[in-house]
Amino acid sequence: MLINPLTKNIGADDTALDLGAYRNNDGYRGWLRALRMSPEKLIDLVQKAGLRGRGGAGFNTGFKWSFVPGDRQAQPVRYLVCNADEMEPGTFKDRLLMERDPHLLLEGMMIAAHAIGATTAYIFIRGEYHRAAKVLENAIGEAEQAGLLTPETTGWEQPLRIYLHRSSGNYICGEETALLNALEGKRAIPRAKPPYPQVSGLWGRPTVVNNVETLCNLPHLVTQGADWYRQLGRGEDGGTKLFGVSGKVNKPGLWELPMGTPVREVIENHAGGLRDGLTLRGFLPGGGSTDFLGPQHLDLPLDYDAVGKAGSRLGTGTITVLDEATCPVGLVLNLSRFFARESCGWCTPCRDGLPWVVHILQRIENGEGTMEDLELLREHTIRMAPGNTFCALAPGAAEPIQSALKLFEQDFVDHIRGKACPFH
Amino acid sequence: MPTITVDGEDYEVEAGQNLLSICLSRGIDLPYFCWHPAMGSVGACRQCAVIEYEDDEDQQGRLVMSCMTEARDGARYSVDAQTAREFRGGIIENLMINHPHDCPVCEEGGECHLQDMTEMTGHTLRRYRGPKRTHRNQYLGPFINHEMNRCIACYRCTRFYRDYAGGTDLEALGRNNQIYFGRREDGRLLSGFSGNLVEVCPTGVFTDKTFSRHYVRKWDQQMAPSVCEHCGVGCNTAPAARQPGSPGDPWLRRVTNLYKRDINGYFLCDRGRFGYEYANSPARLTQVMERDNIELIGSSSGGGALSHRQIAPADGVEAFARHLEDHGTGKHLLLGVGSPRSSLENNFALRTLTGAEQFYAGVSAVDLQLLQLVNSIQCDERIRSATTPEVEQADAILILGEDIDNTAARIALAVRQAAQNQRRRQAEKLKIPDWQDAALRQLPAAPVPIVFAGCEIPALADCCSDHVIGTPDALVSFGEAVLEAIGASRGGTDQGDTLTDTGDSPLSRDYLQLARDTARALVDAERPLVISGCGAQHPGLLRTAGLIATALAEERDEPVNTYLSCPEVNSLGLLQILSSADQHLERAGSIMADARKRGIPVTLVVLENDLFRRLPQNQAQEILSSADTVIALDHLLNDTTRRAHLVFPTAATPEYQGTVINSSGRAQRHYCVYEGIGFIQESWRWLADAISASNLHSDTADLVRSWQHSDDVSAALAEALPVFAEIRRLMVSLRDNFNVARQSHRASGRTAISAERRVAEEPPPEDTDAPLSFTMEGVHDPAKTTLQAVIRAPGWTSNQSIHKYLQGLNGLRVERGAPTLLQRPQKPVPRWQSVELHACGNATNGSTTSGRLLAVPLHRLLGSGELSSSAEGIASAIEPPFAKLHPTDAAQRGIHHGEQLVLNLGETRRQLHARVDFEISPGVVGLPCGFPELADITVRLPVAVHIKPVTASDHTAGGDEP
């Protein structure tokens, strides 16, 4: 049984699979199969398989698609957008997929396009992903040349067009509505919802924005079926996922593992445990905008709901490990600096709150902090709580801060009392 | 009606409204920044957070932004809950971390929304200890100061400037807390609505640069309601004045918007906001003057300009009285020339003085016919005059020949809002409330059919679905094609395209198709609107617009909304005062010439009018020189006052009480904000003084003698002319038991201003016309009377306080009754459809045959207004005079963009800057209407002219050749 659908084509030789090789490995079978299915059936299949958005929010993909208006005659223009603006700190999973197996993504996009009736698709790719962009551009050319997108293949009235758009660089573009604004050439600020993109998205047309990894799940899901997909998971969620570990571990990297794999297994078995005999103090389970979890959570299965219940988010599934020799204040400061810089400037708690948070953390790190500063930091995390800001950027930025204040409070106090960073 | 509970109080609320506007209109103080009553909600600042409870059990509730929350029936909210108050305090604390503590030197201080909101949340202690971010400020032109360090990033400026007013040269730049609201490079803000930034900005980023030159705090200003005198729309304004503290200071300090739902709402155009400076101009007349009998040599304004000397006002009045007495003997001819930019009272006083037969409109025959056309179209039973909110609600608009961006700018701003109506309809389908501004603007929607037909592509083009650019005659043909298509649809045939192309139509097939589409859109619309006006100076266009509107009304079997723009503040009022349809300047001229021939001495009284802006120079000169005595009453030294034998300085609009009629036939009052300096007084008072000083005794002379108050004149007018019967409703009796304070409670320094000269306080003047005091004594509450123009409320010092005095959000101001309209008889079958129109220069085919082009007037917001052109700021922003022509026409004549060309019109010859541009129709050459150097030419337009490139021999003469 196929157990590594996302990475089965990715070998050790660090090259991208071309169309021929991809097809030899049963590539584009999902596409051809999907074409024989009605969009409704396809949506139903994906929904039943329980594929959840791999960009971080974990929303059921089929369910997301189902909000696109069904009447294609009334709204013939629809768009599919692939969110390849991978900028979450500590996250590098989409990059691997795009650089190594571009046709898997393209096939996934074609299937999604069929499901929602899109005849135009965009890949909005992070500006710094030069290699991935090149690989994808090449792959799009191959697919076009091979006639995979033509009406002869699809039986559609128009050919499917896939465009690659390279972002000019802004974390907020990962937020799907800010991404749509950026794609339209507008300021990258999140849009008001409703209307949701499925109803009024790119240029006001029905649009679905899906993450790279989400789309890469589709080809095999279609060929192997929902039951196979669900079985891949070890816990509640179906399928596999790319999990990564960064930090002071022996073998930082990325592995395709079943959903529900315990954290400990990822860190100890796959990443080889902490190096130099260091012990683990905590970890960010899914990127820079998730809450810290502690050593007591090492046996947590990496499922969306399980991690949520533990007080954090699965996010992108790329774990950042904090060890005993690394200053948690410094880590949080580093992250906050990133988020403050990347704030789009639209709403107050984020735009003016984050630079202030950075200022406070810097003072604490410099040994100039006061106990009142801790209270102020907590206030800021409340101001940036979900619903209090316009989009999810600031709540995400607040997550490592609020959890660090709980888990590593003593470190903050030591900085303040000792008037210096104890790690230096 | 849904009922909601806020902090234990039940409120009945309008369905579908957001909680913030509900709270504000119920008097609940809730701080906000990014929301604006006219611009809706975007949820950016997060300042207006309140608690929403799930149900009766819910004790915790959750924080929601009230501006983004639709009030649900039966829901429970709390503004007062501690969590909400703490959050709002936190937001203001965030906003203030970079805000400079420069309130004492900031011009927003004392009327600053940020100050008000900071106080309201109770934020006092600064906890942020880091450095503040700083910005470089930009030069934004003569009107607006830029101080970006004060910015709290509420985005209102760009939302107004770009989204609401269609500007493109101000934007949000950069990101995070470095976000910058400015232009890509220094330079004048090009939108004609830039001045609204001053009022839209909740703090002191954008402030009024003209005001900076003579700044005073809001609490030190004396204010009274006024009406903008710079076009026919009649926007309500609140001019602010203060006694000069130092010699260079003027009384009049600035103009701000005064909310009036049906006309200007919250916004003014830049001509209206910055035009006030004419009253402080060096050319302002303040003394009575008499001619010296020495002709000025080398006067730039041609022959006949005289030097003057000041005389005592009493002597001037005596001299005036002698002329009236001569007239009384019957051996003299006394003629009066009225003014469309002066009040009904002033015009009526002159008419009373001269007798109705000898009172002439101060406009040319063509201009008078245009006004008569507007008037009679509006009197047609099938026609309604749209209010500004009605313009905003229109769902199909035809603009025929009127460049409203430049002639009635506030109406163009309303048309811009109408362009969003398809989106609003779309939003309704998606159950998105229309105040969700950002959501609304991202919706796709078919364009609202807004079709513009004119000689030049308008600034409105971006929100028009289509435009027709052509010669005036081509535009008439287009209008006729629309008319025909409306008729065809009435004939029962469903398809407009059953019309036959005869082949000899002056219109292309595309334009014919567009005409049919336009007709169809107007017929199918729920709220169609036809806009036209006097701006093209082309009666045929105006009449065609009227015919379209009436045909549409027939088709729809209900009256149709129109907006017919009149050029000046009281154009329509002046028209009603005339005794016959041909009391125009040309006729006055021929009567005078005739009298002269018969040896009858002529005295000509010119009321607030510069004839050189009404007639070609030679005709104006002829009229003035055929009078033995010219008595001029006006605000400014101009070509007419320069030639007058007696000159009386008259009160400008903010300096006196008067009634004016706007383009929609609505009568409005402006009140005296401050008394003019020197010997300035109202024209009607000079006229009454002259009568009083004379030995004349007749019923009319006695009537005039009896006039003590402005309302006496208004009453006499209402008595004499039934059309004005309703203006009695505007009269506020002096005997009423109240006085309204022009100054605020906090007005300071009254005794100190002249303390270096005298210690004793000067007694304040008394207003003999209106129950308004020139002091801080009297009624202050704007809820008690609309005479109160100082809008403020406890805790609300800024202009945002207006919501405390409106009946519901964007409603009428409290205490304001029904509009006062002219009582014009409505006619079922108007005469206007068949009157013979004044011929307009016809050179549509001329460009190929005779080499001539049709010169047409191009209006410009800054430059085409008579008085505003003398305002210091506006004068500095007026473009140099130009001639704009199509590249094809330019190429045929060897004219290049940017070079000088020579324009020949009869004996007049002018060198102008060539502007070669695809934006203008072939076959015409556009000249900026009413520009100081060109006024005498543009009055004659449209007319055929010769143009050619400048040759070496032309270089000697820059202007006219004799």
**pLDDT tens, residue by residue, B447-489:** 999 999 999 999 999 999 999 999 999 999 999 999 999 988 7
- Same domain as A375, residue A255: no
**Main-chain phi, psi angles of B245, to 5 degrees:** -90, -25
Residues 421-440, chain B, touching A (beta carbon < 8 A): 430-432, 436, 438-439
Percent of chain B with pLDDT over 70: 93
Chain B neighbors of A390, CB-CB under 8 A: 43-44, 46
In-domain check, residue A7:
no
Percent of chain B with pLDDT over 90: 80
In-domain check, residue A179:
yes
Residues B344, B822 contacting (CB under 8 angstroms): no
Report the residue from A352, A379, A388 with minimal CB separation from B97: A352
Q: Do A199 and B430 touch (CB under 8 A)?
A: yes
The band of B844, judged by pLDDT with boundaries at 50, 70 and 90, is very low
Q: Do A348 and B443 touch (CB under 8 A)?
A: no
Domain boundary among the residues A231, A249, A282 is at: A231
Q: Do A192 and B177 touch (CB under 8 A)?
A: no
Q: Do B178 and A345 touch (CB under 8 A)?
A: yes
pLDDT tens-digit map of B614-673: 999 999 999 999 999 999 999 999 999 999 999 999 999 999 999 999 999 999 999 999
- Same domain as A222, residue A242: no
Interface test with A, best of B92, B93, B94 (most A CBs within 10 A): B94
Task: Specify the range with the lowest mean pLDDT, choosing from A16-25, B564-573, B702-711, B751-760.
Answer: B751-760
In-domain check, residue A13:
no
Closest chain A residue to B44 measured between Cα atoms? A347
User: Is the Cβ of B153 closer than 8 Å to some Cβ of chain A?
Assistant: yes
| CATH for A312 | 3.10.20.600
User: Which residue(s) pair with A321 in the sheet?
Assistant: A283
- Same domain as A251, residue A197: no
pLDDT of residue B809: 82
In-domain check, residue A423:
no
**Whether residue B306 has pLDDT greater than 80:** no
Indicate the burial class of B60 (C-beta count within 10 angstroms; 0-12, 13-18, 19 or more).
exposed
**Whether residue B502 has pLDDT greater than 80:** no
Report the residue from B91, B174, B175 with minimal CB separation from A349: B91
**Whether residue A203 has pLDDT greater than 50:** yes
Mean pLDDT in residue range B697-703? 91
Q: Do A345 and B174 touch (CB under 8 A)?
A: yes
pLDDT tens-digit map of B198-220: 999 999 999 999 999 999 999 99
User: Which residue(s) pair with A22 in the sheet?
Assistant: none
pLDDT of residue B830: 59
CA A100, CA A105: separation in Å to the nearest integer? 10
- Same domain as A76, residue A169: yes
Residue position matching structure tokens 């900028």:
A87
Between the alpha carbon of residue B938 and those of residues B287, B299, B615, B883, B904, the distances in Å are 31, 21, 9, 11, 13
In-domain check, residue A3:
no
CA neighbor of B640 nearest in space, from B668, B673, B667, B617: B617
CA neighbor of A164 nearest in space, from A215, A112, A127: A127
Chain B neighbors of A372, CB-CB under 8 A: 127
- Same domain as A284, residue A334: no
- Same domain as A24, residue A149: yes
Number of folded domains that form chain A? 3
- Same domain as A332, residue A305: no
pLDDT tens-digit map of B223-270: 999 999 999 999 999 999 999 988 889 999 999 999 999 999 999 999
pLDDT of residue B504: 55
**What is the DSSP track for B804-855?**
GGBSSTT-PBTT--S--B--PPPBSS-STTTSPPPP----TTHHHHTSEEEE
Domain boundary among the residues A170, A202, A231 is at: A231
Q: What length does chain A have?
A: 424
**What is the DSSP track for B250-283?**
-SEEEEEE--BTTTTBT---HHHHHGGGGGG-TT
Closest chain A residue to B444 measured between Cα atoms? A204
Report the residue from B43, B133, B177 with minimal CB separation from A390: B43
**What is the DSSP track for A26-45?**
TTTHHHHHHHTS-HHHHHHH
Interface test with A, best of B18, B127, B442 (most A CBs within 10 A): B442
**What is the DSSP track for B72-97?**
PTT-EEESS-HHHHHHHHHHHHHHHT
In-domain check, residue A1:
no
Residues B288, B230 contacting (CB under 8 angstroms): no
User: Is the Cβ of A341 closer than 8 Å to some Cβ of chain B?
Assistant: yes
Distance (Å) from the alpha carbon of B444 to chain A's nearest alpha carbon: 5
Distance (Å) from the alpha carbon of A227 to chain B's nearest alpha carbon: 37
DSSP state of B653: G
- Same domain as A248, residue A137: no
CA B111, CA B208: separation in Å to the nearest integer? 13
pLDDT tens-digit map of B2-54: 999 999 999 999 999 999 999 999 999 999 999 999 999 999 999 999 999 99
A251 CB-side CA count, 13 A? 11
Mean pLDDT in residue range B556-585? 96
In-domain check, residue A11:
no
Q: Do B90 and A379 touch (CB under 8 A)?
A: yes
Distance (Å) from the alpha carbon of B446 to chain A's nearest alpha carbon: 11
**Main-chain phi, psi angles of B958, to 5 degrees:** -90, -25
Sequence-distant (6+) residues with CB within 8 A of B952 are none
Residues 157-196, chain A, touching B (beta carbon < 8 A): 170, 172, 187-188, 191-195
Q: Do B45 and A347 touch (CB under 8 A)?
A: yes
Between the alpha carbon of residue B232 and those of residues A59, B94, B368, B656, B962, the distances in Å are 58, 45, 15, 19, 36
Report the residue from B64, B172, B444 with minimal CB separation from A200: B444
pLDDT of residue B831: 63
- Same domain as A358, residue A246: no
Domain boundary among the residues A288, A322, A356 is at: A322
Could you tell me the residue range of the domain that residue A264 belongs to? 234-322
Q: Do B44 and A170 touch (CB under 8 A)?
A: no
User: Is the Cβ of A359 closer than 8 Å to some Cβ of chain B?
Assistant: yes
Chain A neighbors of B163, CB-CB under 8 A: none
| CATH for A99 | 3.40.50.11540
User: Which domains are seen in chain B, by residue range?
Assistant: 3-96 (3.10.20.740), 129-280 (no CATH), 288-364+584-720 (3.40.50.740), 369-565 (3.40.228.10), 846-956 (2.40.40.20)
pLDDT tens-digit map of A388-405: 999 999 999 999 999 999
Task: Specify the range with the lowest mean pLDDT, choosing from B406-415, B545-554, B775-784.
Answer: B775-784
| CATH for A410 | 1.20.1440.230
User: Is the Cβ of A347 closer than 8 Å to some Cβ of chain B?
Assistant: yes
pLDDT higher for A154 or B112?
A: B112
- Same domain as A254, residue A226: no
- Same domain as A212, residue A67: yes
- Same domain as A403, residue A276: no
pLDDT of residue B733: 61
In-domain check, residue A8:
no
User: Is the Cβ of B174 closer than 8 Å to some Cβ of chain A?
Assistant: yes
Between the alpha carbon of residue B28 and those of residues A227, B38, B80, B116, B126, the distances in Å are 57, 19, 10, 14, 27
Q: Do B46 and A379 touch (CB under 8 A)?
A: no
Closest chain A residue to B178 measured between Cα atoms? A345
